[in-house]
Copies of this chain bind each other. A is one copy, B any other.
Amino acid sequence: MTVIEDFNGVFIRLPGVRKYSFSTLSVLHTLGRSGPLRLTDLLKTEQLKQPALTSLVAKLVQDGLIKRRPDPTDGRAMLLSLTREGRQIVRSRHANRVANLTRLVDQLTDDERAVLAATMHVLTRLTEIAAEDA
């Protein structure tokens, strides 16, 4: 299991661009995956308290990375989503990670790559299971 933690360490630190904080990147990433979210729902994924998230979101709206519109079905709530620019950042970071990882994977043998490919489906399953019983 230690291997996973080590690899994770590598993976987490791969992106070379150090401009946004961990919290910011996590918010952008989450919004990039799961369509428009209400503050409260976003709160569940992010390791921040509500006031911190409110102010972080406010700043990101200022910076033009996040859009905010009232939830039509609930007058109290706000629906948050990425702007084009926000999506752009997420995409570019993703591309960055893919590139870095590819560079590593290219150094594996064919056999090793095959094993890795087979794992993808298992990882998907694991992630699903985690989502279910959460």
Interface membership of A58, Cβ < 8 A: no
Question: Closest chain B residue to A95 by CB distance?
Answer: B1
* Residues on the B chain within 8 Å of A124, using CB: 3, 6
Specify which of B7, B120, B127 is in contact with A126 (CB 8 Å cutoff): B7
Which stretch in A35-43, A65-73, A80-88, A99-107 binds the other chain?
A: A99-107
Q: Which residues of chain A (24-61) have a CB below 8 Å from chain B?
A: 29, 33, 45, 47
* Residues on the B chain within 8 Å of A7, using CB: 123, 126-127
* Residues on the B chain within 8 Å of A13, using CB: 45, 47
Q: Known: A104-B129, A130-B10. Contact between A3 and B115, CB under 8 A?
A: no
- Sorting the interface of chain A by its residue count into under 10, 10 to 19, 20 to 34 or 35 or more gives 35 or more
B122 and A115 contacting across the interface, CB-CB below 8 Å: yes
Listed residue (A9, A29, A105, A126) with the most chain B CB atoms within 10 angstroms of its CB: A126
Complex CA gap A98/B5 in Å reads 10
* Residues on the B chain within 8 Å of A103, using CB: 133
Q: A104-B126, A105-B126, A108-B125 are in contact. List 7 more A-B contacts (CB 8 A).
A: A3-B120, A7-B126, A8-B11, A13-B47, A103-B133, A115-B121, A118-B119
